[in-house]
Amino acid sequence: MGGYWYYILALGIMIWSFVVQITLQSKAKKGSTMPSNMTANEVVEQMLREHGISGITICHKSGDLTDCYSPRESKIYLSDTTYNQRTVTAVAVAAHECGHAVQDHEGMMIYRVRQFLAPAAGICSNVSVYIVMAGLVVAAIAEHGGDIGYFLCNLGIIVYLVTFLFYLVMLPVERNASSRAYKDMKNSNWVDESDMKYAYKVLRAAGDTYAISLASSALTLFRLVLLRNSVKGRRR
């Protein structure tokens, strides 16, 4: 029964992910044909200045969608389609990354939690799968291995919760960076008023990709629980 639901949900998330990717690409493309009143770099400089932030450098990072804020290096990386570009998409993306710098500067709690969890999230994601797999193997081959297998599966689930928590925290952090970007864009003249709805659509679609990451992570958690429950039946 659980396995049946797993496949239904997996299919649903796959379709949703496909729709969001297409939407994001088309909105970003549309916005990149619309000129803005300032370049992405000028927008970052002004936004940082207005929030009283200094000491952050803007760097170019080759590739598409490679934009990010690195608190460790105090750098904002802008990709090929953003760096020095004068388009609605470039300004929206740059302002979003700058939004992270503002979160960091203000010491926003949820942002700090995300930063704290970030290094562990990837490791825990991999390790948890190995622990659960070990649990399944032990339960299957060792004599009276059911209890140990069940314990290992539970351990793997607990380890995976760190990854799940990371994605859970990431979504509001990303939405908040976008809403800061949108607010500052609205209060300035970086983009014409009539083009703001396109900037909003780009930010909205980019944010949806994090909702998918969260849903996928929840699905993995569900899968691990199903695997654990398959051991349950074999416990003595």
Closer residue to Zn ion, CB minimum distance, 78 or 132: 78
DSSP 163-193: HHHHHHHHHHHHHHHHHHHHHHHHTSSSS-G
Closer residue to Zn ion, CB minimum distance, 67 or 195: 67
- What are the backbone dihedrals phi and psi of residue 234, each rounded to the nearest 5 degrees, phi first? -100, 0
Closer residue to Zn ion, CB minimum distance, 125 or 178: 178
Closer residue to Zn ion, CB minimum distance, 95 or 224: 95
Which residue stretch of 1-9, 112-120, 138-146, 167-175 sits at the interface with Zn ion (rule: CB under 5 A)?
Answer: 167-175
Q: How far is the CB of 121 from Zn ion (least distance, A)?
A: 15
Cβ-Cβ contacts under 8 Å for 142 (sequence gap 6 or more): 148, 149
Which residue stretch of 55-63, 114-122, 145-153, 176-184 sits at the interface with Zn ion (rule: CB under 5 A)?
Answer: 176-184
**Residue 138 and residue 204: Cα distance in Å, rounded?**
46
Which residue stretch of 11-19, 43-51, 54-62, 173-181 sits at the interface with Zn ion (rule: CB under 5 A)?
Answer: 173-181
Distances in whole angstroms, Cα of residue 228 to Cα of each of 33, 131, 225: 51, 11, 5
Q: How far is the CB of 95 from Zn ion (least distance, A)?
A: 11
DSSP structural state of residue 79 = -
Q: How far is the CB of 103 from Zn ion (least distance, A)?
A: 9
Please work out the total of residues on this chain that contact Zn ion, with binding judged by CB under 5 A.
Answer: 2
Neighbouring C-beta atoms of residue 53, cutoff 10 Å:
16
Q: Contact positions toward Zn ion, by CB under 5 A?
A: 174, 177
